[in-house]
A and B are shown apart, each in its own frame.
Chain A
Amino acid sequence: MKPFFQLDPRTKIILMIVLNFLVVKGGHIGFEILIALIPFVLLYDNKQKKLAFTYLILYVFAIVAKQATSMELHPGISAVVIILVGLIFKIFPGLMMGAYLIRSTKVSVFISAMEKWHLPRSLVIPISVLFRFFPTVSEENRAIKNAMKMRGISLGSQKFFKNPILFFEYRLIPLMASSARIGDELSSSALVRGLENPCKRTNFEEASFQKIDFVFIIFSAIAFVFMFFKG
């Protein structure tokens, strides 16, 4: 089944910027929750259910914890809790939106959208590589982490304390090596598919604004204006 929300990449980017603004600016708690629900709905819709629910649970936990810290607690504990809660409230919605943006967007549609914004090619290509490559790097990173764990090298393990610098070497170097190889393959495949062609690109799937995009953009515009006039 296709996701219900088929957004244009441009809408996603606008939404992400507005979301960050709103979340940072803050406001009534109900309004903040409403804003924070947007990434959840989009992630859920995009079949990233595990991430969506992890996010939801953390957020609910943060709301509860925020209420709890207004009660009397040991100052040291409450400071830690407040920092974690603040992190979840302020950074997670944006991050989740980013995760959605990266996972839900096909690179070709993204390129077509960026070309409609008339960004120069020398910027569009690296950015779309970034898009394509970010999930790959984190996947590689996870694999290397597991492999090193098998050798008893993980953050906080005995070998870590013996030589912390070597720990970074063990974790970073394989990542660099595999990424370099994947990067080479990526560029070969892009060249084979004719990315170097100086003619105007044609797209199988053109990025275009649909009704649903206008709903989201109008919603974010209203929320933005509302936020500003309320101070």
Chain B
Amino acid sequence: MEASKKLTVRDLIHIGVYSTLYLVVFFMCSLLSIVPVLYPFIPVAAGILCGIPFMMFMTKVNKPGMIFIMLIIMGMVAFLLGYTWIPIVTAIVFGFLAELILKVGGYKKFSTVSLAYATASVWAVGIIMPMWVLASTYVEFVRENMGDQYTDSLLHYMPWWMGFVFVGLYFVFGLVGAFVGRKMLKKHFERAGIV
């Protein structure tokens, strides 16, 4: 495994596989957004549940660039689904930070891996950030399509400082997710010899 530090084709395929799993789990969680009051629970659910595919991903690949590529793909998918260009930017920023953490701390240690996952999962803030960055057009768009009541309650539950709360939530529950993911790996996969 230590033979090369560059990503091989096998690694790239694994990146694709686990990006898919991450996305599937993530979009299951983001279905919560149908009810505005549940909006703050998306990071909780996504952070915890996405930890499982991510921790598995970390056992399969451990080379520089892995998280960066994964997050760029996330950003692109979010862009294609119509969440504006902002997710791409956040994905690049947090992907880079997560890579930096792994680079400094090492790819095998649980502490750095969980920190990196927590950092990386903050990219998803980009999906809701248009609400504040492109505030006027976005609110107009939501009001037109989701109705006044949804918009008003959305604005009521999501003032601008919620952006920072969301960053915090994603980070904290990313850490929780890393623990859950490791527990799940121990409980189910190591014994079965999949990891």
| Interfacial residues, chain A to chain B (CB-CB below 8 A) | 13, 16-17, 20-21, 23-24, 26, 69, 75, 78-79, 82-83, 86-87, 89-91, 94-95, 98, 121-123, 125-130, 133-134, 137-138, 141, 168-169, 172-173, 175-177, 179-183, 186-187, 190-191, 195-196
Contacts and interface: CB of A to CB of B under 8 A. Distances in A.
| Residue from A26, A126, A175 having most chain B Cβ neighbours under 10 A | A126
Interface of B: 7-10, 12-21, 23-25, 34, 49, 52-53, 56, 60, 65, 69-70, 72-73, 76-77, 79-82, 141, 144-147, 149-150, 184, 188-189, 192, 194-195
| Residue from B81, B82, B194 having most chain A Cβ neighbours under 10 A | B82
A173 B80 contact: no
A125 B146 contact: no
A180 B56 CA distance: 9
Contact of A17 (B34, B52, B69, B80): B80
A86 B146 contact: yes
A134 B19 CA distance: 10
Contacts of B70: 126
A126 B188 contact: no
A126 B81 contact: no
A176 B194 CA distance: 10
A133 B16 contact: yes
Contact of A122 (B12, B150, B188): B12
10 contacts: A21-B82, A79-B147, A79-B149, A83-B34, A129-B17, A134-B23, A176-B56, A183-B17, A186-B13, A187-B14
B17 A127 contact: no
Contacts of A98: 80-81
Contact of B145 (A89, A168, A183): A89
Contacts of A94: 80-82
B82 A126 contact: no
Given A128-B16, A169-B184, A191 B146 contact: no
Given A94-B82, A134-B20, A176-B53, A78 B147 contact: yes
